[in-house]
Amino acid sequence: MTPRYVLDDLAALEAESIHIIREVAAEMQRPCLLFSGGKDSIVMLTLARKAFAPAPIPFPVMHVDTGLNFPEVIAFRDRIVAQWGVELVVASVQDAIDRGLVREEPNGSRNRIQTRVLLEAAEQHGFDALFGGARRDEEKARAKERVFSFRDDFGQWDPKNQRPELWSLYNGRVFPGESIRVFPLSNWTEIDIWKYIERENVPVPELYFAHPRDVVERRNMLYAVNSFVQPLEGETTTKHTVRYRTMGDANLTAAVRSEADTVRKIVEELMLTRITERGATRGDDKISDSAMEDRKREGYF
């Protein structure tokens, strides 16, 4: 028997996220939602639509385009903002490199330098609240971060000086120049995201589904051959059925072996998997035990 007046887990998470999004819209001067086209950000955008329907989302979305994105994800992003009538701001890392704001790093990763680009764009547009799709289950530094995460006027996170966060009372008070990063999906797990995508029919980029692709193996990870990944000397290309678990930069995001070509199969696959999504797919997170904390201190998402 279904008990009366009880929400199931997804409905409870959904209600909490909508509450958070509405608090930001009500209290902050100029919010913006970070939208990359990945599964978490599309779920967050879906929740934002629900929070204000039938009115439109009362803030723009921003994509920090590293210039290394999968073309499929950029196409998906553009299709969604057009269909849903959302205002898109693009902050381009390539443009920032060309202007000399940031310099390309030797390892080819633009993960770190995009922080400067994000902060510059936020300042230009006067955003005082940025919604991010990060989840606490992703990474252990994130597990310690507040839903309303205060940033000083340099965009920096100070993990030892976080505002206590109790009940559902969020403190978004900031002085000019300071800002809040808001994580409405803090309490969601990867499986919750996929179950919600299934339940609500949320569109996602095709790359999430298993497909036979030409891949090369590097450091025990499979990289699909694309315009950013070409076989190096000595590497052989083989065909595998793979899918992407995350949508990072195309040159550094690995694919995983998978037969899951539907959302249902992805949910079932995740119930059995023994590796975290970042561990399985990100070459750039393995640098050190504190890589994420360090980047967040600098103002990363």
Partner 1 sequence: MVELLRVATAGSVDDGKSTLIGRLLHDSKALFADQLEAVERVSRTRGDDYTDLALLTDGLRAEREQGITIDVAYRYFSTPRRSFILADTPGHVQYTRNMVTGASTADVALILIDARKGMTEQSRRHAFLASLLGVSHIVVCVNKMDLVDWSEARFDEISAEFDDFAIRLGVSDIVYVPVSALLGDNVVDRSENMRWFDGSTLLRHLEHLHVSSDRNLVDVRLPVQLVIRPQSHRHRDHRGYAGMVAGGVLKVGDRIAVLPSGFESTITAIDGPSGPVEEAFPTMSVQVRLADEIDISRGDMICRPNNLPTVTQDLDAQLCWMDETTPLRIGGSYALKHTTRWARARVRGLDYRLDINTLHRDQDADQLTLNEIGRVQLRSSVPLFVDAYERNRETGSFILADEGTNRTVAAGIIVPRTRAV
Residues that bind partner 1 (CB under 8 A): 2-3, 5-16, 18-19, 22-23, 25-26, 47, 50-56, 136-137, 139-144, 159-160, 162-169, 171, 173-175, 186-187, 189, 191-192, 200, 273-276, 279-280, 289-290, 293
**CA angle at residue 203 from 202 to 205, to 5 degrees?**
140
* Least gap, CB of 186 to partner 1 (angstroms): 7
CB of 212 to partner 1, least distance (A): 26
Q: Report d(CA 81, CA 35) in Å as an integer.
A: 10
Nearer to partner 1 among residue 236 and residue 288 (C-beta): 288
Taking the C-alpha atoms of residue 101 and residue 94, their distance in angstroms, rounded to an integer, is 10
Shortest Å, Cβ 171 to partner 1:
5
Q: Which is nearer to partner 1, 92 or 171 (CB)?
A: 171
- Choice between 239 and 274, CB closer to partner 1: 274
Nearer to partner 1, 175 or 212 (CB): 175
Could you give the 3-state DSSP secondary structure of residue 200? helix
Q: How far is the CB of 141 from partner 1 (least distance, A)?
A: 5
Strands in 83-234 per DSSP E: 88-92, 129-131, 148-151, 179-182, 211-218, 221-224
User: Residue 206 carries which DSSP code?
Assistant: G
Strand 31-34 to 129-131 pairing: parallel
Single-letter amino acid code for the residue at 138: E
Nearest distance from C-beta of residue 75 to partner 1, angstroms? 28
Question: Interhelix angle for 190-200 vs 9-27, to 10°?
Answer: 90
Burial 244-277 (b: 16+ CB within 10 A, else e): bbbbbbbbbbbbbebebeebeebbebbeeeeeeb
Nearest one of 166, 184, 145, 171 to 59, comparing CA atoms: 184
For 66, the token pair is 């590293």
CB of 91 to partner 1, least distance (A): 27
Q: Which is nearer to partner 1, 97 or 270 (CB)?
A: 270
Nearer to partner 1, 120 or 152 (CB): 152
Least Å distance, CB 18 to partner 1, is: 4
Q: How far is the CB of 300 from partner 1 (least distance, A)?
A: 15
Q: Which is nearer to partner 1, 7 or 101 (CB)?
A: 7
Beta strands in the chain (DSSP E): 31-34, 61-65, 88-92, 129-131, 148-151, 179-182, 211-218, 221-224, 238-243, 256-257
Report yes or no: 87 and 77 within 8 Å, Cβ to Cβ.
no
C-beta of 168 vs 238, nearer to partner 1: 168
